[in-house]
Structure 1
Amino acid sequence: MRILISPDKFKNSLTAYEVCDAIERGIRKVKPKAEVIKLPLADGGEGTLDILEQQLGAIRVEKEVSNPLFKPVNAYYLLKEEKAYIEMAKASGLPLLSIVEKSATKTSTYGTGELILDAIDRGANDIYVMIGGSATNDGGCGMAEALGAKFYSKSGTELSAIRGRDLSKVHSIDLSLLERFSEVKFTVLSDVQNPLTGKNGASHVFGSQKGATQADIEFLDEGLKNLAKILDNGNEDKPGAGSAGGLGYGLMSFLNAELKSGIGQVFEFLEYDRKLLNVDLIITGEGKLDGQTLGGKVIFGVASKAKENKIPIGIICGIAEEIDKVKANLDIQMIYQVFEKAKGFRDSMQHASIYVEELAKELIQSLNK
């Protein structure tokens, strides 16, 4: 029996690699001679770079840049020949800030721009930017500023160290220095489909998790509307424009980037279709299975591939919500939850590896019934 294990991480509990190892141990207890292929995945957001570093054999380039609050932070990206792989969370991500530091109004994507500039200076002309897990809501203006964009107020004063709170002050933008990047190809990986502004936009949907109050959210949304009015390119309504606090919009608008499905592009990177040859069973999973899973997360992507290739699939997750909706949309019946085994939330987090192993064993046993 040939089994492909392709899970995402269980956030704050297990890495995707640790999930793979736990599932394999469970499989071996039932089918010790099974051929097991471990291929951990990510959806193009936070954690994708770690997967690609292991799978692509790219060079890690370390660089001190500005964190979301303009404090120095050690970040890195990957470089392979003329391709660069940059994860914005390494420079501008929410995990870089303490709880008290979270502030969607005070944060900037400047550090992400510094990583992009360094990659270009090293010869990269095909750059993939992964934009999940952001601490920011600046529409990508900080990133653009690091690359040479100039922002001016109505009085003509240059606005520097631009942050989310500054967008409402912007009256004009000079993008002339960004013309030097016109030959560089930019691709954005994201699983978010939200527009830039409005009730489904960056500020309203994601602002609160970045420390924004309701008043902040309204203020930030007006700032992004002002930015969209100045640039006047229609990108604000495109799916994904609101990802990473509007960085999706900024990359499209300032660097002519193309937005792609995160998991779809990861499949291309890893030549996933080739790995499916002669596979008898796929086991995937993630920390939380819910309605958002259907919006382009790892499980949705893997399930789609399984359906295309008529391969049976099972899911092991930390906790499942809206399970009937997920089952109906993904046409999957084998769904196993750590939370049903554990004695509570803390136990499920601390002993996730043990429970995942047990669930994998049960999943394989169910195939023989």
Structure 2
Amino acid sequence: MKVILCPDKFKSSLTAEEVCSAMAKGVRTVVPQAEIVRMPLADGGEGTLSVLESNLNAERICVEVSGPLFRPVLAHYLLKGNRAYIEMAEASGLPLLKTFERSAMNTSTYGTGELIAHAIGRGAKEVYVLIGGSATNDGGCGMAEALGVRFLSHGGRNLTAIRGKDLARIKQIDTTALSAYKDITFVVLSDVRNPLTGPNGATHVFAPQKGAGVAEMEHLEKGLLNLTACLGNGLEDQPGAGAAGGLGYGLMSFLGAEIRSGVNTLLHMLNFSEQLDSANLILTGEGKLDHQTMSGKVVAGVIEAVGNRNIPIGIICGMCENLPEIKRELRADWVVQLRDQASGFRDSMTNAARYVQQAAAQIAKEWRSGADN
């Protein structure tokens, strides 16, 4: 019996690697001799770098860069040959700030640009930028500033240490310095498909969790609209332009980046389709299953990759909104919620590994019973 374990992280509870370990323990209590393939996954956002590091023989490079509020932070990226993998949350992520420090008006992606520049300085010719979990809403202008782009206000004055609140003041943009990067290939990995502006854009959907109130959101949206008017490239409506506070748009606009599905790219890198040929059971999962699961998340990516192969699929999650509908849409054989086993939300978070193990054992037992019959 071959079992593939390919979950995402359970946010604020377990890493994808820890979920795999708990699943493996559960399966082995039922089928001790099972061949278990651990394949922790991510969707291109937070945690993707960790997944890549556990699967690639890449060099980890640590460097001090500017955090979201320009305080120094120690971040790292991966370098394998001439390909670099950079997770923007390492330099510009929300977890780097205390709750009271969250401010989409005052944060910047400058540190992400510093990571990109450092990787290119180390010889990278292909740069993968993993975006998600950002503390920012600057349209990628901070990142661009770190790479030499100049932002000018009325009167030709330089805008420096540019943040979300400064975008509305931009009058001209000098991208001359970017000629140094014309031979570098940039790829963005993300699960977010939102456009840059509008009701489904970066500001209205994500800025509130970054500390923005109603008046601040109005100012931030005005800034992003001004940025699009200055650049005039029409990329603001591209799926993913609104990812990471508009960093997706900035990477496309300033560096010609291509946006790809995070989970699909990882599945390809990890040769997932080859592993499926002899698989008997697949266990995947994430912290919460809801309507967003179908839009570029790990579970949906796994099920899409499995396609019409007749392989039973079990999903383990912390909780599921509208379980019957989600189970039907995902075409899953089993969906097990940790909250059905735990005494409450806190218990399900604190003891998630134990409940994931129990859920995996339950699915394996039901699978074996069906196979025997």
> Shorter-chain TM-score: which interval?
over 0.9
Residue 273 of structure 1 aligns with an amino acid whose one-letter code is S
Shift of 1:309: 2.8
Distance, in Å, in 2 between the alignment partners of 1:341 and 1:221 is 43
Separation (CA, whole Å) in 1 of partners of 2:180 and 2:310? 47
The answer to whether the aligner puts 1:88 opposite 2:98 as a matched pair is no
Q: Which residue matches 1:183? A: 183
The aligned runs of 1:275-286 (5 Å cut-off) are: 275-286=275-286
Please say if 1:206 is aligned against 2:206: yes
Q: Which residue of 1 aligns with 2:240?
A: 240
- Corresponding residue of 2:356: 356
Q: Which residue of 1 aligns with 2:31?
A: 31
TM-superposition CA deviations, 1:114-139 (whole Å, max 9, x none) = 00000011110100000010000000
Would you say how many aligned residue pairs link Structure 1 and Structure 2? Answer: 369
Matched, 1:147 2:147: yes
Q: Percent identity?
A: 56
- Opposite residue 179 of structure 1, the aligned amino acid is S
Partner of 1:334: 334
SS in 1 for 2:311: coil
Tell me which residue corresponds to 1:49.
Answer: 49
Give 1:70 shift.
0.2
1:285 to partner: Cα distance: 0.6
Q: Distance in 2 between matches of 1:209 and 1:42?
A: 21
The alpha carbon displacement at 1:112 in A equals: 0.1
Counterpart check, 1:97 vs 2:100: no
User: What is the match of residue 215 of structure 2?
Assistant: 215
Report Cα offsets for 1:256-309 as digits up to 9, x if no partner.
000001111111221221222200110001111111100010000011122243
The code of the aligned residue for 1:148 comes to G
Counting only pairs closer than 5 Å after superposition, residues 1-369 of structure 1 correspond to structure 2 as 1-367=1-367, 368-369=369-370
Q: Does the Cα contact within 8 Å between 2:92 and 2:136 map onto a contact in 1?
A: yes
Amino acid at match of 1:103: S
Q: In structure 2, give the amino acid aligned to 1:156.
A: G
Aligned-pair CA distance for 1:75: 0.1
Between the aligned partners of 1:199 and 1:88, the Cα distance in structure 2 is 24
> Which residue identity is paired with 1:184?
I
Shift of 1:365: 1.4
Q: What is the CA–CA distance in structure 1 between the aligned matches of 2:343 and 2:252, rounded to whole Å?
A: 46
Q: TM-score, normalised by structure 1?
A: 0.99
1:226-261 C-alpha deviation (Å, 9 max, x unpaired): 000100000001000000000000000000000001
Shift of 1:323: 2.1
After TM superposition, give the deviation of residue 214 of structure 1 in Å: 1.3
Mapped to 1, the partners of 2:146 and 2:81 lie a distance apart of 24
Q: Is the contact made by 2:312 and 2:333 (CA closer than 8 Å) also made in structure 1?
A: no
- Contact 2:202/2:242 (CA < 8 Å) preserved in 1? yes
Once residues 74 and 266 of structure 2 are traced to their aligned partners in structure 1, the CA distance between those partners, rounded to angstroms, is 25
Superposed displacement of residue 105, structure 1: 0.4
Q: CA RMSD in A?
A: 0.9
Q: Secondary structure at the residue paired with 2:305?
A: helix
TM-score, normalized by length of structure 2? 0.98
Q: Which amino acid aligns with 2:237?
A: D
TM-superposed CA distance for 1:310, in Å, is 2.8
Q: Are the counterparts in 1 of residues 42 and 48 from structure 2 also a CA contact under 8 Å?
A: yes
Q: Are 2:273 and 2:306, in contact at CA under 8 Å, matched by a contact in 1?
A: no
Deviation (angstroms), 1:28: 1.0
User: Does structure 2 retain, via aligned residues, the 8 Å contact 1:196–1:249?
Assistant: yes
* Contact 2:2 2:281 (C-alpha < 8 Å) held by counterparts: yes
Deviation at 1:96, TM superposition (A): 0.3
Partner of 1:207, secondary structure, is: helix
Distance 1:222 1:329 in 2: 38
Contact 1:56 1:270 (8 Å CA) reproduced: no
After TM superposition, give the deviation of residue 327 of structure 1 in Å.
Answer: 1.8
User: Contact (CA 8 Å) 1:69, 1:107: kept in 2 or not?
Assistant: yes
**Whole-Å separation in 1 of the counterparts to 2:217 and 2:344:** 34
Task: Find the aligned partners of 2:304 and 2:95 in 1 and give their Cα distance.
Answer: 31
Greater mean alpha carbon deviation, residues 161-170 or residues 306-315:
306-315
Aligned partners of 1:145 and 1:322: how far apart in 2?
44
Q: 2: CA distance between counterparts of 1:299 and 1:232?
A: 36
Structure 1 distance, partners of 2:264, 2:310, is 19
Preserved CA contact (<8 Å) 1:306 1:313: no
Rounded Cα–Cα distance in structure 2 between residues aligned with 1:201 and 1:325 = 27
1:328, distance to aligned residue in structure 2 (A): 2.5
